[in-house]
């Protein structure tokens, strides 16, 4: 295990960079990874109660961040690609988080059973992070069958505070399968919205549960009244309307300007 030490928000943690083939570890080390998501999501987590759920946990960077920055939060991670889940387990163990982190090797969707996980060509030589249940997300080099469940099927016996979901275009299906949890606990949700995502369907879902979408540029959180793709803002925050003030506190702490271009009547 080739580990590096990463400093983040006044804390330090160990992370397996897989002999420099884990692009996530490299980018976190130099501060370029998915800005402003790491700081803003952790700032939000520290301001709300409840557990942290990472859907599409990858090699575990956000799981480890959440574990290191909080003292007693429970963390639930979901990563269906076995080779990547194995790296995540190593990172969880390296940071003494086994007692607080539960890692499920399962994909989350709006159905129960098995599904095809499409894995792109690994010829780039890096740890593969773009596997998707969406067959058209990227050209598949390999297809494997993985177990699939709904978020609502898991008996998490505590309030859910923050959810991160990055599952390569399958985010709408996840939301459908987590609708009961979302309505009950009103978590803040950080989600990737890339080009193939079902943006109109996501927008309709958010309207139905009374959430507001903010797309996250490095220095700005923008609300347009609809979910749109922005090449400078792949990550979005879905915020319960009654918790916008709390989200603004987190934005302010990260020097992120909140811009509301659409003000509902």
Average pLDDT, the chain: 87
Q: How far is CA 102 from the centre of its chain?
A: 15
| 118 — pLDDT class (breaks 50, 70, 90) | confident
Tokens, residue 1: 């295990």
| 265 — pLDDT class (breaks 50, 70, 90) | very low
Whether 129 contacts 62, CB under 8 Å: no
Average pLDDT over residues 152-156: 89
CATH class of 31-108+149-260: alpha beta
Predicted pLDDT at 139:
55
Average pLDDT over residues 228-240: 92
168-218 pLDDT, tens digit each:
778 999 999 999 999 999 999 999 998 667 889 999 999 999 999 999 999
| 125 — pLDDT class (breaks 50, 70, 90) | very low
Q: Provide the whole-model pTM.
A: 0.90
Could you please report the per-residue DSSP string of 4-29? EEEEETTEEEEEE-TTTT-HHHHHHH
Average pLDDT over residues 142-156: 90
Predicted pLDDT at 74:
97
């Amino acid at each position: 295990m080739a580990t590096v030490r990463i400093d983040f928000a006044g804390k330090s943690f160990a992370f397996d960079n897989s002999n420099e083939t884990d692009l996530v570890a490299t980018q976190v080390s130099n501060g370029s990874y998915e800005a402003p998501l790491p700081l803003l999501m952790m700032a939000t987590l520290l301001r709300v109660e409840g557990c942290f759920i990472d859907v599409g946990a990858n090699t575990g960077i956000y799981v480890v961040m959440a574990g290191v920055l909080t003292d007693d939060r429970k963390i639930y991670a979901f990563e269906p690609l076995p080779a990547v889940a194995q790296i995540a387990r190593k990172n969880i163990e390296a940071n003494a988080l086994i007692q607080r982190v539960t890692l499920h090797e399962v994909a989350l969707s709006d159905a129960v059973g098995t599904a095809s996980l499409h894995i792109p060509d690994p010829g780039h030589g890096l740890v593969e992070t773009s596997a998707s249940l969406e067959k058209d997300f990227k050209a598949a080099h390999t297809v494997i069958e993985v177990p699939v469940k709904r978020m609502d099927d898991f008996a998490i016996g505590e309030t859910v505070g923050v959810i991160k979901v990055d599952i390569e275009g399958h985010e709408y299906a996840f939301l459908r399968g987590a609708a009961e949890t979302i309505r009950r606990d009103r978590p803040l949700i950080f989600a990737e919205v890339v080009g193939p995502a079902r943006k109109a369907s996501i927008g309709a879902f958010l309207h139905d549960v009374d959430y507001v979408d903010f797309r996250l540029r490095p220095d700005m959180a923008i609300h347009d009244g609809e979910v749109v793709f922005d090449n400078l803002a792949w990550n979005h925050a879905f915020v319960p309307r009654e918790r916008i003030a709390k989200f603004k506190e987190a934005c302010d702490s990260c020097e992120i300007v909140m811009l509301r271009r659409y003000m509902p009547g």
